[in-house]
Amino acid sequence: MKQFKIAVIAGDGIGPEVINEGIKVLKKVAELDSGFQLDFTYFPWGCEFYAENGRMMDDDGIDKLKEFDAIYLGAVGFPGVPDHISLWELLLKIRKSFDQYVNIRPVTLLKGAHLPLVDVKREDIDMLFIRENSEGEYSGAGDWLFKGQENEVVLQNGVFSRKGTERIIRYGFETAKKEGRSLTSISKANALNYSMVFWDQVFEEVSKEYPEVETASYLVDAAAMLMIKDPKRFEVVVTSNLFGDILTDLGAALAGGIGLAAGANINPERDFPSMFEPIHGSAPDIAGKGIGNPLASIWSASQMLDFFGYEGHGKIVLDSIEQLLLEDRVLTPDMNGTATTSEVGNRVTEIIESIILSKGMAVKSRI
């Protein structure tokens, strides 16, 4: 029997509440398939840990996490701890230490989810964003000179290496080729005359190796407009760290809300563990009330199953979310429902069990 070791960092705010429902789903899938087992180990890291210990994670935290096949993260951030500390000392530290240079964020409008756009068909919103996740605008390079003086100067540098830029663009082409879809590059070369000119150049170079992939390239401001006016033109999208971060939040608004937005931080070579997380924040205003939406966490659990090679089960989890939305009975307040976090998780688990049992052994044969 295959065994996968998963490190759980529930984190802050609603993180522990939503991640618990994702674990519930993962355990149910493993229970119904005797071919693999999931072992969860919990780490109490986050802002509460910082308040008690003066650091976001153990000093040897990265060494501890190296032993796992995947990391499941709830949320990071809470009032009282500056955002740059909570982000750089936990989330970004993990991403960079484990070279999780591919960030995958699906922007797909599931059946039953709210469609905010007029004159747009539901099937028109089906994008896969591939965001560079290790350098670019979030490289952390820069300086702060003459602090507090009248000639104070702050430098924030974007770092675009040949290796980092080429590998994420190539990953985008490989994904588009595999899925038989187009690939769109998003940059800002008219204003960022070094980094984005370089990005466009590398995209053009790599595209010559993939003549079968239809391509397009847009400036980021035009892309933001077109995502709303004509979303169907975007299928697989590759872009930089900052642009990917911003545009996928816009994508979340198009695809039913931030409560449905999942993300995967992938080390494709599997030299290190990859990390799976909802992309919403810790929502401290509703923490402890049991009303946080767990669907993004459950969707990221589906991504984890895909990563482990169980795409069939990953799809069943996603189908179960869609069925829950179509039923329109067990939804949290952010989706105009009255259900609790755990009630949503329980219902998704029930749907998963029903689907898997109805398919029987046929499910395993396709994995």
Q: Which residues are catalytic?
A: 138, 188, 221, 245, 249
204 Rama sector, left if φ>0, alpha if ψ -120 to 50, beta otherwise: alpha
Q: How many other β-carbons are positioned within 10 Å of the β-carbon of residue 356?
A: 21
117 Rama sector, left if φ>0, alpha if ψ -120 to 50, beta otherwise: beta
8 A C-beta contact, residue 248 and residue 227? no
Separation of alpha carbons 40 and 58, rounded Å: 18
Structure tokens at 275: 């990390």
46 Rama sector, left if φ>0, alpha if ψ -120 to 50, beta otherwise: left
8 A C-beta contact, residue 48 and residue 12? yes
DSSP code, position 233: G
List 38's β-bridge partners, or say none: 4
Backbone φ and ψ of 85, nearest 5°? -80, -50
8 A C-beta contact, residue 247 and residue 224? yes
What three-state secondary structure class fits 85?
A: helix
DSSP code, position 87: I
Structure tokens at 229: 């006016």
Could you please report the per-residue DSSP string of 204-223? HHHHTT-TTS-EEEEEHHHH
Residue with tokens 């493993």: 30
Residues 6+ positions from 207 with CB-CB distance below 8 Å: 173, 213, 215
As a whole number of angstroms, the longest Cα–Cα distance in the chain is 71
Structure tokens at 197: 């000119």
